Amino acid sequence: MDGVTTPDAASAVLILLGPPGAGKGTQARMLEEELGLVQLSTGDLLRAAVAAGTQAGKAARAVMEAGELVSDEIALAVLKDRLADADVAKGVILDGFPRTTVQAEALDTLLDQSGQRINAAISLEVDDSAMVTRISGRFTCGGCGEGYHDSFKPTEKTGVCDKCGSTDMKRRADDNAETVAARLDAYHTQTAPLIAYYDQKGALERVDAMGAIDDIARELGRIAKHAAA
């Protein structure tokens, strides 16, 4: 290859739907390794924008800390920016996007323009009551991005990443009980309607996401391979 990447009309587009804490990020990372797709998390992109102090980051910061959704305009801007990178031509797993009907419609238009389609929108089905515990115990490796949980997925050695050995563990500013309640609320009012949206398009798959991480990963891998074939 000469390093020039043209958008591949056949590259897969998978969407992970589910409330905060459902495991979208964890599962997206596992699928990324298994299928060679690229995880695209608008939450991660927005946190990077906040950390970098960009225009979008400045506008997003307080909104994110309150557990509300940033404007569709900002969410779309960070998505489009990332889609312009060459590596996403391999196909993407969208994690945290779309989150509103406006975003879903904008994504349809974008994909239409590049001759792509959504292979599957996979809904991770969980009980809300378990999400607060899941979220309040989670942390991420600052070195490689691997996600962990105090009870459900601890590191082998306390404070040290299993994957890269980094000791730089991060907990998100919005992973506290009050903000989680607002995030769940935003999910139910603004994002959950997308389940019906994708169901109507015949793209919806539902996965029980209350079990063990590896079992869910196996089920997701099966669906994703089938959908992306």
- Interface contacts to ligand ADP, rule CB under 6 A: 20, 41-43, 46, 63-64, 67-70, 75, 96-97, 99, 103, 183
223's CB contacts (< 8 A; 6+ apart) are: 120, 122, 205, 207
24 is catalytic: yes
**Which position among 11, 114, 133, 166 is part of the footprint of Zn ion (CB under 5 A)?**
166
Using the rule CB under 5 A, is 164 a contact of Zn ion?
A: yes
- For residue 99, indicate whether it is catalytic: yes
- In this complex, which beta carbon is closest to Zn ion, that of residue 161 or of residue 216? 161
Q: Which of 58, 157, 163, 201 binds Zn ion (CB under 5 A)?
A: 163
What strand order describes the sheet that includes 12-17?
Answer: 38-41, 91-95, 12-17, 120-125, 204-208
Min CB(51)–Zn ion separation in Å = 18
C-alpha distances out from residue 74 to 14, 49, 59, 60, Å: 21, 11, 8, 8
Evaluate whether 128 touches 22 at the Cβ level (below 8 Å). no
d(CA 169, CA 224): 30
Instruction: Tell me if residue 201 is catalytic.
Output: no
23's contact among Zn ion, ligand ADP, none, with CB below 5 to 8 A by partner kind, is none
Q: How far is the CB of 10 from ligand ADP (least distance, A)?
A: 25
Q: Which does 20 bind (CB under 5 to 8 A by kind): ligand ADP, Zn ion, none?
A: ligand ADP
SS3 labels along 110-144? HHHHCCCCCCEEEEEECCHHHHHHHHHCEEEECCC
Give the whole-angstrom CA distance, residue 111 versus residue 1: 25
- Of 187 and 217, CB closest to ligand ADP: 187
Which residue's CB is nearer to ligand ADP, number 95 or number 158? Answer: 95
Q: In the complex, which residues of this chain contact Zn ion (CB under 5 A)?
A: 141, 143-144, 146, 161, 163-164, 166
